[in-house]
Chain A
Amino acid sequence: MKTLSHVAGLCLIATGALAETPVLTVYTYDGFNSEWGPGPQIETNFEAECGCDLQFVGAGDGAAVLSRLKLEGANTDADIVLGLDTNLTADAAATGLFAPSGVSVAYDLPIAWSDEVFVPFDWGYFAFVAGKDVAAPANFRDLAASDLKIVIQDPRSSTPGLGLLLWIKAAYGDESAQIWADLADNIVTVTPGWSEAYGLFLEGEADAVLSYTTSPAYHLIAESDDTKTAWVFDEGHYMQVEVAGKIAGTDVPDLADAFLAFIATEGFQGVIPTTNWMYPAVMPAAGLPAGFETLVQPATALLLSAEDAQAATAPAIEEWRAALSQ
């Protein structure tokens, strides 16, 4: 009976709170606010200090979030968009829907961060993930010359797929068309998104899958499985930096600013490593969870600027398509 009244009381508080408190709407990709993603914990942590209701709205992946934002235009309900990466930010900024963040923090990123609109919240290196028993190639040329089978994602529908495209572009420039042509016979299939590719890899359909250097940490920490590793390529690894931005037309600007500032704090960053399986943009006080120290560290970080990435994308996709359509 005591529990019951307790619950009833909570409900009353909750409904009362719903009616009074301001709502902060955050558009993000599906995985972010799934039960096992960072969303729920971050929501709890932020709501504990903001006196607000934080609502995540999931819409596919990063590219889909941007599409949805474009569909809605200035009418959007979003106050914050979270989960774009640097390959999409130039496009996103060009919509004119975003306002400068006003946040400046010392980030623990391998590169200097100077974007005034978007705030990074986590990052990782793209890498091919494989079983440890597979002989690792040293670079893309090695991979192309081998009999190894890989599964990759489509750059037109997936952020890792686009990452790979720009990775090869950043590393090989004008030679990238040839690299793709040489890789063609190593590619088992091109999937629309990360999930399908990773699923196929786990089913044994390929020796390696395009993912992140941090992926083996999931298997190690969550499944106590240390058989997976990421290949280190000597031409360097392209980075993915995931960012959040504030919608200029938000009706709760103070709350949006508070959230952007919150991103760099412990309550957000501490959640990231073992929920999003990426590196936090600001190192939590406790450091990285045990297991992350086993991850490979690329010697060189590659990343095109947002503008360069935007300019390179269309021609690179055409090059990719032509090379793989042979």
Chain B
Amino acid sequence: MLTCDAIRLERDGFALSADVSFQAGALTALVGPSGAGKSSFLGLVAGFDIPESGDIIWNGQPLVPIPPNQRPVATLFQDNNLFPHLTVEQNIGLGLSPRLKLTPAQRVQVQEVLDQVGLSGLQDRKPGTLSGGQQSRVALARVLLMNRPIVLLDEPFAALGPGLRAEMLDLVRTRLIAPDRVILLVTHDPQDARRAADYIAVVAEGTIGAPQPTAEVFASPSEALRAYLGQ
């Protein structure tokens, strides 16, 4: 369980507040208009930003005092998830060894996740030679390999077409969901949320709404969601 305890963040006239909990073993989508604070919220969880007040609790452990690289978090960004000058294997290997000195055992692990995301044999290619979908899979492979209990997906597949995006979301569901893992997905596409998420939290005007089961949310949308959906 990931709990945000009276979090408040203020930046340049923009305020974000969150007082919610997210279930482990499920994927929660954060849905809302751009500028509502979705990505800022992920930044708080990842540790790129420090809130003015409140704390983020993971299984009883406060996260705010912990620097980003020591938090139990793996993030998939909107873009720039891969270093173009490193090979696929190196890009994934960074998740295991930040100094890029892979042991034979670690290289085997990299091969295994490559197999899992369906990219066997591409370890020596550089990202520039891969298609958009393949690049997303490489990034996802690294998140898989890092095996962190909190996974943040910040519109990672926004640049892909609808078919590929659906495929990637399915891959996320099949490979990432685990009993003790919280997965947060930021998206502005309600269809994505409906397809992939177990819970939906509506974000509006700097407030993170409480997550609710996807089916319920779409059956009786709240006012904020209706406004967003244009209904």
Are chains A and B touching in the complex at the 8 Å CB cutoff? no
